[in-house]
Structure 1
């Protein structure tokens, strides 16, 4: 895919469309025509066109299709908001073209770097989480014939869902890949203390992002483990190997400055969540961090596998495998249409 913003100068045949509760089909001139909806009472003195249908109610156990789009096109911006306490109970699924399985299937919060039960703000190029729970994705998502987006409420009560998906109707290049997202967990991690972020997926493709939520399960520093990318036939040893968890996410020296963790959120990487924020080196602390490989995509031709070691320190200065760690990762990558890739 192109670098964000690189297409803004093009005056081609693309047309912008947007799907929301105010225009469920995205059809031209079809917005703000509702005569009933969640805002009908508030708009009763104003009439049609005045925010009559800004949202939907998603009942417990219900699956709602938020968007059903004919292609070709590119999804450009996804915005949602809902009950912040339900982010881990709502499943987001996205389907491209004729694939029967979703290319994206994970809890709503994890797609937006919010895997814990407290909201974390994110100020990155591809994902923005704004006060007080505005969830934004700028990942470009091309599709050729069809795109479908659903939400499933796995909780015990109904939640409101406000949403808007903006896309362009346009031709899609022959070499464009489909965005995939996969969440994997290790709770607890067990032995060996190696977490598989992405099992072997076929190429050609580009790996573009990692979100990590971790609870180390042991006192002391927890981020000595390397992230490893096995490309195109690598077996025992990877082609790409980092120097430590905090290094991969752009930090250094244990994220520790003057005896405290310091959070940061930048366009391409961040340690955006530390819970609780006023402690350090505690076994039950929780952390959230992300890295987007936009300027430095990891390109492969035949296959890719991604792993992460979980390592802390023994008192004698040797590495401590964190077998009791709780880890959840979300991997994002682009690839061609291949069926059957799941966790």
Structure 2
């Protein structure tokens, strides 16, 4: 799915940032006003006059508007950790009426808990301290529109760069979709749904889960299931356990170390947040699984993808749990729209701040 680096491109590379907001050829470094203007007052234009933007409370900022055909090849972005679960990233392809990507900013970059953890994967890298990178290929035929909505009551300063190439993307190029859902808490006897009612041809490409354990004991005995094409009563793909799906085993528990974080090109559990004896009363985890080498293909749709939350009770019996599960599902589809859940709201995204501190405007 990623480009062969040895292949000569018959494309033109462009990049959108606050210093070149429309990506025009020769359009960079011309700003005369911006968030860096005061710092550059002795140097003048061309000297980091506009490195970032301020997104006002309740406002939506246009990160990029691109006329195609083409494909976005890299997105780098950063803002203060306070805003990781108050900003919503959206992407709309080819004048569609609805976004294909609609995900909290942090969750899109495997950082749903508002705290940094290193992520070193093939398509997402989260680097110190909050440098977020996406290498998901994002092809489009007519145009692409990326936005960032600030659902909070304070402004958010955002630094970003969207790199893309213009040129034919081919008849088989599919559109990237990303959907976010949260069960908080998961209702009694129910499973957490990652996708539902997707129609079309494509392939499922990846999962990120921000999982908060609301009970003591092991929480990951549940299976993930994929209903494919005409599946109704039973799924075609059924896993063997949560930690198994994310490439681990035996509760991610290395004897003497307990839960052990890891990050690899295709899968990982890069984040383990342990109770601190005060405000962090529950264990929380961040896990990703990219189906790049092993995409889950479908011809007519994905009726449903879900995951169970199971622990243990006495007598070796499973215990259905009521955990806090937020999922981001990535998939490629032959059309720019798909059945999707309600848009993320501020309250639905919120990570409760144990210290009682309010987000700050930075």
User: Is the shorter-chain TM-score for this pair beyond 0.5, marking a shared fold?
Assistant: yes
- 1:267 Cα deviation (Å)? 0.6
Q: Which residue of the partner structure matches residue 75 of structure 1?
A: 72
CA distance in 1, matches of 2:111, 2:335: 28
Q: Which residue of the partner structure matches residue 310 of structure 1?
A: 309
- 1:98 Cα deviation (Å)? 1.7
Q: Which residue of the partner structure matches residue 265 of structure 1?
A: 263
- 1:5 Cα deviation (Å)? 3.8
Q: Which residue of the partner structure matches residue 213 of structure 1?
A: 210
Alignment of 1:41-56 (within 5 A): 41-56=38-53
Q: Which residue of the partner structure matches residue 294 of structure 1?
A: 292
CA distance in 1, matches of 2:163, 2:301: 32
**Equivalent pair of 2:198/2:338 in contact (CA under 8 Å):** no
CA distance in 2, matches of 1:319, 1:63: 45
SS in 2 for 1:220: coil
Cα distance, 1:143–1:5 mapped onto 2, change above 3 Å:
closer
CA distance in 2, matches of 1:338, 1:168: 19
After superposition, what is the alpha-carbon deviation per residue over 1:63-99, rounded to whole angstroms, capped at 9, x for unaligned? 1101100000000000100111111001111110021
1:144 maps onto 2:134 in alignment: no
Select the residue among 86, 97, 102 that pairs with 2:99.
102
Q: Which residue of the partner structure matches residue 245 of structure 1?
A: 242
Deviates more, 1:333-342 or 1:210-219: 333-342
- 1:58 Cα deviation (Å)? 1.1
Cα distance, 1:52–1:338 mapped onto 2, change above 3 Å:
closer
1:199 maps onto 2:196 in alignment: yes
Q: Which residue of the partner structure matches residue 360 of structure 2?
A: none
CA distance in 2, matches of 1:249, 1:340: 26
**Equivalent pair of 1:216/1:283 in contact (CA under 8 Å):** no
- 1:313 Cα deviation (Å)? 0.3
CA distance in 1, matches of 2:78, 2:43: 25
Select the residue among 105, 108, 127 that pairs with 2:124.
127
CA RMSD of aligned residues (A): 1.5
CA distance in 1, matches of 2:20, 2:291: 34
SS in 1 for 2:314: coil
- The alignment's TM-score, normalised by the length of structure 1, stands at 0.95
- 1:224 Cα deviation (Å)? 0.7
Q: Which residue of the partner structure matches residue 32 of structure 2?
A: 35
Q: Which residue of the partner structure matches residue 345 of structure 2?
A: none
Could you list the runs of 5+ residues in structure 1 that have no partner in the other structure? none
- 1:192 Cα deviation (Å)? 2.0
Aligned pair count reads 337
After superposition, what is the alpha-carbon deviation per residue over 1:159-218, rounded to whole angstroms, capped at 9, x for unaligned? 111000000001011111100000011111113231111112112111000001112222
- The alignment's TM-score, normalised by the length of structure 2, stands at 0.90
**Equivalent pair of 1:36/1:52 in contact (CA under 8 Å):** yes
CA distance in 1, matches of 2:326, 2:124: 18
1:319 maps onto 2:318 in alignment: yes
- 1:236 Cα deviation (Å)? 1.8
- 1:277 Cα deviation (Å)? 7.2
Could you list the runs of 5+ residues in structure 2 that have no partner in the other structure? 342-362
After superposition, what is the alpha-carbon deviation per residue over 1:135-171, rounded to whole angstroms, capped at 9, x for unaligned? 1000000000010011111111111110000000010
